[in-house]
């Protein structure tokens, strides 16, 4: 894959180029750019498959690159020093990223992922989802990896996640998706989101979508799709404390 590096810091570009040339044999760095406008010219001049893109740059930040292309054909790996919350936004948006200060292992992982998924480019949807998630201090959308690509859904529309072995059924108010991810991965992604709680080893639920909480004869939760979900006995006390402190 032919790639360019976009970063306003020459030392950062040099370090990234050296690591890629030594540890990522499938990537060829053909040019470097100190800003978005230069990057646009390079992308229009050369067949670019991959862009390593810094976010925090003067004049225009990295996101501005996508304002110049209606249907970009290049993959993107963002380079970021963002906060822990922002990293969650990157992950739920399915955006590939490298944390600064960069490390060899992180670069190799990001590159391997891009190479594996090359051809399923949905960068415009990914970046728009990321922008939505970064505008407020609450995640807005999540990217669900399906067999034919990614589907982006509003997090508030999710009723619950239901485990199915190595897969997870993601149930929204209007659709049902089968995702090739274990429920544990969604739990880890959204564990700091006050809208969600793991009530059972097989269920991770949106508490704002609960229609009725029945505490008799074993605690259960009713949702609008008429699904009844059990609250595990060992989770009941923690769940009661959880919902008592929020406004559902």
Helices 183-190 + 84-92 axis angle, to 10: 140
Q: Which residues are CB-neighbours of 57 under 8 A, at least 6 positions away?
A: 6, 7, 8, 35, 36
pTM over 0.85: no
Same fold, 2-135 and 141-244: no
Q: Output the tens digit of pLDDT for each of the chain's 248 residues.
A: 999 999 999 999 999 999 999 999 999 999 999 999 999 999 999 999 999 999 888 889 898 999 999 888 899 999 988 766 678 888 888 888 888 888 899 999 999 988 877 666 678 888 888 888 887 777 899 999 888 788 999 999 999 999 999 999 999 999 999 999 999 999 999 988 889 999 999 999 999 999 999 987 789 999 999 999 999 999 999 999 998 876 54
The domain spans of the chain are 2-135, 141-244
Residue 6 CB neighbour total at 10 angstroms: 26
Token couple for 121: 């480019």
CB–CB of 53/130 below 8 Å?
A: no
CATH superfamily, with its number, for domain 141-244: LytTr DNA-binding domain (2.40.50.1020)
Residues 6+ apart with CB under 8 A from 44: none
Superfamily for domain range 2-135 = Response regulator (3.40.50.2300)
The residues near 193 (Cβ < 8 Å, ≥ 6 apart) are: 138, 139, 155
3-state secondary structure of 6: strand
């Amino acid at each position: 894959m032919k790639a360019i590096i976009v970063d306003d810091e020459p030392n950062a570009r040099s370090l990234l180029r050296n690591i890629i040339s030594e540890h990522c044999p499938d990537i060829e760095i053909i040019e470097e750019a100190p800003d978005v406008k230069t990057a646009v010219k390079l992308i229009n001049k050369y067949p670019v498959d991959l862009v390593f893109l810094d976010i925090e740059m003067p004049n225009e930040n990295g996101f501005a690159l996508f304002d110049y292309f209606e249907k970009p054909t290049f993959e993107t790996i963002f380079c970021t020093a963002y906060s822990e919350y922002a990293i969650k936004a990157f992950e739920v948006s399915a955006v590939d990223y490298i944390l600064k200060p960069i490390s060899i292992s992180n670069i190799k992982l990001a590159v391997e992922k891009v190479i594996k998924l090359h051809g399923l480019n949905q960068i415009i949807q990914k970046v728009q989802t990321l922008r939505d998630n970064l505008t407020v201090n609450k995640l807005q959308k999540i990217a669900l990896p399906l067999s034919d690509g990614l589907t982006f859904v509003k997090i508030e529309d999710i009723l619950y996640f239901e485990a199915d072995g190595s897969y997870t059924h993601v149930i929204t108010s209007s659709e049902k998706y089968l995702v090739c991810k274990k429920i544990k991965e969604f739990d880890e992604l959204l564990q700091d989101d006050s809208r969600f709680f793991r009530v059972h080893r097989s269920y991770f639920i949106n508490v704002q979508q609960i229609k009725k909480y029945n505490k008799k004869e074993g605690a259960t939760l009713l949702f609008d799709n008429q699904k009844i979900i059990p609250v595990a006995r060992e989770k009941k006390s923690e769940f009661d404390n959880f919902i008592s402190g929020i406004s559902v």
